[in-house]
């Protein structure tokens, strides 16, 4: 793939994740502007996570009717329109409705990007392309928060979304340079196959772990802006956005996950180590020092992304059939945890305070650590499983990308998955 195409894909990915997270550092401002409470303001993030959690079920069907490039261009154009409407929104109800629409469109963008990459990249380049894509998603999460916070501080919160509207409009025209992709045939999810997958202890363990991990992650990051305003008085949106700098650790950890697996001698030990670090660092967020919280964020995010990147590879390593559905369930559990975590723990925060809020999230991570440890120490003999897909890097990334492949369970069908 030529460099121009790579730049366009990276820009589209960064902007998509910026749309998801741009409101986050602005939640205290929006709460004051529209006179809503913390949990209501947090819904601006929650509704997007909800649609991301159900995306694997629906968007595979949509891709049967559209090429990924066509769906991508349509979704980006509509996202630009919604951002402009958000800029002019006059009530919190209007903003929430717009976020519902964006929640429907963003999974379409991300699914289209994944499918486009997997269909146009060669077997030799797909691993590099996927690593590039994953790094772009993390960068987008950071830039969306930091830049929206900066613009809001100096120009007002509405201009953060006007900037996104203009950027998405420019991105729409840049998408014309992408070469056309091929129409793919998609494996439709089967309830029986999903039940069989959930009956496998290896997959069930990973799903419970990743649900809990993103539950705690989404919850902390969604309510952290309110805590920072408590600690620092009138903390600017720019400073709040910069508090998410630790998110960049995800790029380093994700791109080096295989090295960590070798260091800790296997995926289960790596996941357990990541969870232990994640749990310990959660406690540091009870500090009353903004500087301590800022530093803790780097290690905290490192632990989270170590678990995330290792767990996603582990399930693909042990998948024999229905790899698209296995990955789809992974994403559903991941974002379902985010949907619930980004909203309901806010009631604990509101009623009992920040200390008990953090303590609750710590217990959630301990639950995940217990589940992972129980599986590791009582691991079922997996003799007869296929060789790890990660032994063949190109094959491993094809699995992550959802590249069309022949699935023995569905002759003539290609496996599809969505992996943000």
Residues 47-58 have pLDDT tens digits of 999 988 887 667
User: Is the per-residue pLDDT at 128 higher than 70?
Assistant: no
Give the pair of three-digit tokens for residue 35. 């006179």
Percentage of the chain lying above the pLDDT 70 cut: 80
User: Is the per-residue pLDDT at 45 higher than 70?
Assistant: yes
What pLDDT sits at residue 218? 96
**Cβ neighbours around 2 below 10 Å, total:** 8
Of 11, 22, 7, give the one whose Cα is nearest residue 169.
Answer: 11
What pLDDT sits at residue 419? 40
What pLDDT sits at residue 196? 84
Give the pair of three-digit tokens for residue 54. 């159900």
What pLDDT sits at residue 126? 60
Q: How much is the average pLDDT of 6-19? A: 93
CATH topology of domain 3-414: Growth Hormone; Chain: A; (1.20.1250)
What pLDDT sits at residue 387? 40
Q: How confident is the model at residue 187 (pLDDT cuts 50, 70, 90)?
A: low
User: Is the per-residue pLDDT at 394 higher than 60?
Assistant: no
Residues 159-169 have pLDDT tens digits of 999 999 999 99
Q: Give every CB contact of residue 125 below 8 A, 6+ residues apart in sequence.
A: 1
Of the segments 214-228, 377-391, 400-414, which one has the largest average pLDDT value?
Answer: 214-228
- Are 137 and 420 in contact by the 8 Å Cβ rule? The answer is yes
Q: What is the DSSP string of 91-111?
A: SHHHHHHHHHHHHHHHHHHHH
Question: Distance between the two ends of the chain, CA-based, in angstroms?
Answer: 20
User: Is the per-residue pLDDT at 393 higher than 70?
Assistant: no
Report DSSP state, residue 410: E
Residues 330-343 have pLDDT tens digits of 888 999 999 999 99
**What residue ranges do the domains of the chain occupy?**
3-414
Q: How much is the average pLDDT of 175-188? A: 68
- Burial group, residue 199, by CB count within 10 angstroms (0-12, 13-18, 19+): exposed
**Cβ neighbours around 75 below 10 Å, total:** 26
């Amino acid at each position: 793939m030529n460099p121009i195409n790579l730049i366009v894909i990276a820009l589209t990915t960064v902007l998509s994740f910026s749309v998801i997270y741009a409101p986050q550092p602005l939640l205290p401002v929006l709460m004051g502007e529209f006179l809503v409470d913390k949990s209501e303001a947090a819904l601006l993030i929650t509704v997007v996570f909800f649609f991301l959690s159900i995306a694997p079920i629906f968007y595979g069907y949509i891709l049967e009717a559209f090429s990924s490039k066509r769906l991508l261009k349509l979704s980006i154009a509509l996202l630009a329109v919604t951002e402009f409407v958000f800029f002019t929104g006059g009530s919190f109800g209007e903003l929430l409705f717009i976020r519902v629409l964006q929640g429907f469109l963003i999974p379409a963008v991300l699914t289209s990007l994944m499918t486009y990459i997997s269909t146009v990249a060669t077997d030799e380049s797909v691993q590099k392309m996927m690593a590039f894509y994953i790094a772009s998603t993390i960068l987008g999460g950071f830039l969306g928060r930091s830049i929206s916070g900066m613009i809001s501080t100096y120009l007002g919160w509405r201009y953060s979304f006007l900037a996104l509207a203009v950027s998405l409009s420019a991105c729409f025209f840049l998408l014309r340079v992408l070469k056309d992709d091929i129409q793919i045939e998609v494996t439709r999810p089967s309830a029986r196959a999903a039940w069989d997958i959930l009956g496998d202890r290896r997959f069930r363990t990973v799903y419970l772990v990743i649900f809990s991990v993103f539950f705690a992650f989404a919850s902390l990051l969604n309510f952290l802006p309110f805590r920072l305003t408590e600690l620092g008085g009138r903390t600017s949106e720019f400073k709040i956005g910069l508090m998410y700098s630790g998110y960049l650790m995800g790029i380093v950890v994700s791109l080096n996950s295989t090295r960590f697996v070798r260091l800790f001698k296997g995926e289960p030990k790596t996941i357990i180590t990541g969870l232990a670090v994640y749990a310990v660092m959660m406690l540091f967020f009870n500090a009353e020092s903004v500087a301590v919280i800022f530093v803790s964020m780097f290690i905290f995010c490192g632990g989270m992304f170590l678990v995330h990147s290792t767990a996603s590879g582990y399930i693909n390593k042990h998948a024999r059939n229905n790899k698209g559905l296995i990955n789809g369930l992974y994403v559903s559990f991941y974002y379902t945890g985010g949907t619930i975590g980004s909203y309901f723990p806010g009631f604990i925060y509101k009623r009992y305070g920040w200390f008990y809020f953090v303590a609750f999230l710590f217990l959630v991570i301990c639950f995940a650590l217990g589940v992972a440890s129980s599986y590791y120490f009582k691991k079922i003999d997996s003799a007869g499983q296929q060789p790890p897909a990660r032994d063949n890097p190109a094959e491993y990334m094809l699995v992550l990308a959802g590249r069309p492949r022949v699935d023995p369970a569905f002759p003539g069908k290609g496996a599809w998955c969505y992996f943000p």
